[in-house]
Every structure is written in structure tokens, then in C-alpha cells.
Copies of this chain bind each other. A is one copy, B any other.
Amino acid sequence: MAWSKTHKPQSREAIVTAAAMLFTERGYERVGIDEVMAAAGLTRGAFYAHFDSKSALYAEAIAVAAIRARDHILERTPVTPSLADITERYLSRERADGGSNSCPLAFLATDIQLRNQQVRDAYARVFKGFVGNIAGADQRDKQDTAALQAAVLMVGGLALARALGDDPIGDQVLAVSKKAIAQLTDNTQRS
């Protein structure tokens, strides 16, 4: 049979897709390879035909999860969404509660600290892309101060809202973060 040539890439994609969701939702340590492979419809032993290690998968999953989250944010928005459109969707209770399409920048922020360089590089690359998207939506230069400030408020606000759970202060965090972004980008301040 010749189907093995196309079978491998399909399996690999299924593994990364499953890993993107599971890792983003629960972090690196609390997800096992068994679980990822089961979610991908395979068994543990097949894993090492596709990846060298768990952390190599982690690095790739962070990048894929970021793309999924971005696509989900941009669904059903104007072709050129405003920054207010994006923050309204990003800093929402549904997004803080998780599910698929969660943002790895917010949910894995403190999980990156002691991981290897490959993982840290993947996270930094995703973050820079995130800032670039914000700057684009805000019609500014990509190095803009306001775009970086908005990124901190979005990632920090969402991470905190998740950590604070059902406490009412979590919703306040989401609300005031949106207001701060609006206020900081209104002023045509140049650094």
C-alpha cells in the first residue's frame, strides 16, 4: 500500500492540534503524552516517530494554538477590525473561561519560565506577532508604544481574569483593561 506517505503528515497534524488545545488549557506539566496521543486517536508508542521529545511538541503546539486563537478572534468581524473589536472579543468572560481557541500567551505566560530555549523562542515569536497584529489594527507603526501597552493589558487581564475565577473582581479586571486600552490609544501620544 502507498497510503503511508500521506498518513504520516496527517497523524502529525492531529497530534499537534490535540496538543495545542490540551497544553493551552492545562499547561505543560499536567498534560501527558498518553493523553495527547489518545486525543489524536493514536497510542503512546507512536509519538516518537513524529517528535524528539515532549518539549519539542510543546514548542510547536504554542505556535499552532496562537494561530487558532487568532483565527477565532477574527471570525465574524469586519474585514479590517478595529482595536476595539479585537479587545472586546479577547477580554471576554468566555475567553477567560477557556475551551478550545484559548490564547497561549495568556494561559501559558508563567509556564515558560524554566523551559528550554526552543520553547522560549516560540513564545517570544508568538508574542511579537501578537503585538504586530495589534499595531496593524491600530493603524500605527509596529514598534508603537500603545500597541505594546495594549498587549500587556490583554494578556495580563485575561490571565488574571482566569486565575480569579468566579470572583466578581475577575469581571472588573476585564472591564477596566478594555477601558485602559481605549484610553491609551485615544491619545495620539508618540513616545
Residue ranges of A at the interface with B (Cβ–Cβ < 8 Å): 26-27, 29-30, 98, 106-114, 120, 123-124, 127-128, 131, 145, 148-149, 151-153, 155-157, 159-160, 162-165, 167, 169, 172-173, 176-177, 179-180, 183-184, 187, 189, 191
Contacts and interface: CB of A to CB of B under 8 A. Distances in A.
B29 A163 contact: no
Secondary structure at the A interface, as helix, strand, loop or mixed, is helix
A186 to B, nearest CB: 11
20 contacts: A27-B110, A109-B110, A109-B159, A109-B160, A109-B163, A110-B111, A113-B163, A120-B163, A123-B164, A124-B167, A127-B169, A131-B169, A148-B176, A149-B179, A152-B156, A156-B160, A176-B191, A179-B191, A180-B180, A183-B184
Chain A to chain B: the 10 pairs with minimum beta-carbon distance, closest first: A156-B156, A29-B29, A112-B163, A149-B180, A110-B110, A148-B176, A109-B159, A152-B156, A124-B167, A145-B176
Contacts of A189: 183
Contact of A165 (B30, B124, B183, B184): B124
| Copies assembled | 2
A112 to B, nearest CB: 4
Contacts of A156: 152-153, 155-157, 159-160
A176 B185 CA distance: 13
Contacts of A27: 29, 110-111, 113
B153 A152 contact: yes
B152 A177 contact: yes
Contacts of A30: 29, 114
Nearest to A26: B114
A58 B153 CA distance: 27
Contacts of A151: 160
A188 B82 CA distance: 27
